[in-house]
Structure 1
Amino acid sequence: MNKLVVMKDQQAVTSSLKVAETFGKRHKNVIQSIENMTAENSALQNMFKLGTYLSKQNKTLPMYYMNRDGFTLLAMGFNGKKAMEFKVKYIEAFNSMENQIRKYGGFQIPNNMSEALQLAANQAKQMEIMKPKAVFADAVAASNTSILVSELAKILKQNGIDMGGTRLFKWLRTNGYLISRKGTDWNMPTQKSMNLGLFEVKERTIDHGDHTTISKTTKVTGKGQQYFVNKFLKDDKPVLV
């Protein structure tokens, strides 16, 4: 019962061989059923794809791949309690594989050496592009050090986000993370940001001799760094103005 459903050409499929094995059918009869169905209704042909396999006698023989819809139509004719149990297991296997596709993305199975080499080259290039972002995100996730907003802007720029400190401050104000009202609270975190733990305010007392003042500086927490890294590099891809 292993691998009832597999990935092929970026979708979840099963094969006529696996169906025949699981339901105790002769493979040639399963193939005949598929060909009868597609001959009667040409719209069903996109649910089945002809392939080949190597038999125990080392012969290349025909088989069919089928998606969830193709399997469902084919299995409608399989009766009995045992057949129902197998149908349920197949549907569960399709669900599991399709969830993986949605979560991690589909992949293309190469048909020849040339395609395999091209696929490997494309994957290596993509991994190289994503590597600094992944490393940066992991480092930020473990960070307990608060940094200045301008420092976060520099790090983002190093990782492919065209960003400067002034633009980042403007984006944070526009999107409700920092106070935009002019005055002593200018560029201080909003209540929303403080509740999320994205910023902290560092206070420093300055002695002027005859009087003292308090300087307030907004700093991005480790949690805030991870939040904004995900927002800019992965999740929302914010539009910068």
Structure 2
Amino acid sequence: MNELTRITITSMEAAGWCGKRHTDLLRDIRKYVQQLGESKIAFTDFFKESTYITDQNKTLPCFLVTKKGCEFIAHKMTGQKGTEFTARYINRFHEMEGTPQRLLTEHPGEVAKLIQALASRMDKQGSAPYKSAEMASLICEQHGIRLPTDFVKIPEYEQLSLFAIENEKRE
């Protein structure tokens, strides 16, 4: 698959960079998709329809935005916001292109449902919350979804016990 369309960000991330509400960017992208369709230009090189799960367990629409899609959005923006958006997407895509990609998904909503089901089961089994975060991080990594480096936070008391175990192994 073309490198420019394989790696994506979510429309939520793009909206934050644009300084727009997500619903406003969705409206704009839908207009772009319609206009591209009328011109018989494949919109999937730029935007891919998807869904995500909210904290309230609702499934809502979003788009996966390719590098070409970010360039498309950037060309619609001017001034300081356009400059900031362009710099952010360039930095983000260069960062992602430098990261080895494994199985990529075009359906982050399905990945979210999987994570939610596994986290619920782990919670019922009494697993520590950070273990659920580690599991979610691993699943995201396997599907090419990037999370912040500090996503998994091990409680300080557990870090101390893990440190003690490592020291015992060395001795």
Instruction: Supply the AA of the counterpart residue of 2:43.
Output: Q
Task: Give the CA deviation at 1:95.
Answer: 1.8
Q: In the alignment, which residue of structure 2 is the partner of 1:37? A: 32
CA contact (8 A) 1:33 1:74 kept: no
Q: In the alignment, which residue of structure 2 is the partner of 1:16? A: 11
Q: Which has the higher helix share?
A: 2
Q: For 1:78 and 1:57, how far apart are their aligned partners in 2?
A: 33
Q: What stretches of structure 1 move > 3 A for 4+ residues in a row?
A: 109-113
Q: Which has the higher strand share?
A: 1
Q: Deviations over 1:179-205 (max 9, x none)?
A: xxxxxxxxxxxxxxxxxxxxxxxxxxx
CA contact (8 A) 1:37 1:44 kept: no
Whether 1:53 aligns to 2:48 is no
Task: Give the CA deviation at 1:63.
Answer: 0.2
Whether 1:108 aligns to 2:140 is no
Structure (1 or 2) with the larger CA radius of gyration: 1
CA contact (8 A) 1:44 1:70 kept: no
Task: Give the CA deviation at 1:35.
Answer: 1.1
Q: In the alignment, which residue of structure 1 is the partner of 2:89? A: 90
Instruction: Supply the AA of the counterpart residue of 1:45.
Output: F
3-state secondary structure, aligned to 1:108:
coil
Q: Deviations over 1:28-68 (max 9, x none)?
A: 11111111111111224212111111224332110000110
CA contact (8 A) 2:17 2:88 kept: no
| Mapping of residues 1-241 of structure 1, within 5 Å | 11-42=6-37, 43-46=41-44, 47-100=46-99, 104=100, 106-109=101-104
Identity of aligned residues (%): 28
Q: For 2:42 and 2:74, how far apart are their aligned partners in 1?
A: 14
Q: Deviations over 1:120-168 (max 9, x none)?
A: 9xx9xxxxxxxxxxxxxxxxxxxxxxxxxxxxxxxxxxxxxxxxxxxxx
CA contact (8 A) 1:16 1:63 kept: yes
Q: Deviations over 1:99-123 (max 9, x none)?
A: 33xxx4x31146577xxxxxx9xx9
Instruction: Supply the AA of the counterpart residue of 1:19.
Output: A
Unpaired stretches in structure 2, ≥5 consecutive residues? 115-138, 143-171
TM value normalised by structure 1 = 0.37
Specify which structure has the bigger relative contact order, considering alpha-carbon pairs within 8 angstroms and separated by 6 or more residues. 2
Q: For 1:68 and 1:109, how far apart are their aligned partners in 2?
A: 15
Task: Give the CA deviation at 1:25.
Answer: 0.5
Unpaired stretches in structure 1, ≥5 consecutive residues? 1-9, 114-119, 124-241
